[in-house]
């Protein structure tokens, strides 16, 4: 089970036209995105990665604030637990 902490990194690169800022998605799972010259495009890569790894609604943490779980990670405290009869998890 890998935790994901995606973020967009900004770096400076030398090009034939001069110095340019590049942006790249980087995640703690080891994913490194393509070089992008616009931050919003790298943010779109981040959003696409989060959509790929998001846990289904019925398997998400029931108390994310208390457990410190992100919507795209499996909560170690809630994983595999069934809802109590009569309790609505929504």
**pLDDT on residue 15:** 83
* Predicted confidence (pLDDT) per residue in 8-36, tens digit: 999 999 988 899 999 999 998 889 999 99
**pLDDT on residue 63:** 83
How many structural domains compose the chain?
A: 1
- Asked if 50 contacts 43 with a C-beta cutoff of 8 angstroms, the reply is no
Is 83 inside any structural domain? no
CB atoms closer than 10 angstroms to residue 42: 23
Is 14 inside any structural domain? yes
Q: Is 4 exposed, middle or buried (0-12, 13-18, 19+ CB in 10 A)?
A: middle
Is 87 inside any structural domain? no
Select from 29, 32, 35, 33 the least CA-distant residue to 53: 29
Is 51 inside any structural domain? yes
Locate 68 and state its tokens: 């410190």
- Domain holding 51, by residue range, is 7-56
Higher local confidence (pLDDT), 22 or 58: 22
**pLDDT on residue 88:** 60
- Asked if 56 contacts 74 with a C-beta cutoff of 8 angstroms, the reply is no
Q: What is the pTM of this model?
A: 0.71
Is 71 inside any structural domain? no
Is 39 inside any structural domain? yes
């Amino acid at each position: 089970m890998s935790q994901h902490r995606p973020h967009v990194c900004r770096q400076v690169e030398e090009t034939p036209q001069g110095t340019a800022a590049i942006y790249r998605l980087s995640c703690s799972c080891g994913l490194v995105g393509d070089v992008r010259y616009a931050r919003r495009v790298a943010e779109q890569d981040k959003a696409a990665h989060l959509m790929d790894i998001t846990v289904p609604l019925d398997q998400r943490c029931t108390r994310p604030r208390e457990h410190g779980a992100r919507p795209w990670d499996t909560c170690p405290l809630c994983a595999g637990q069934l809802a109590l009869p009569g309790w609505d998890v929504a």
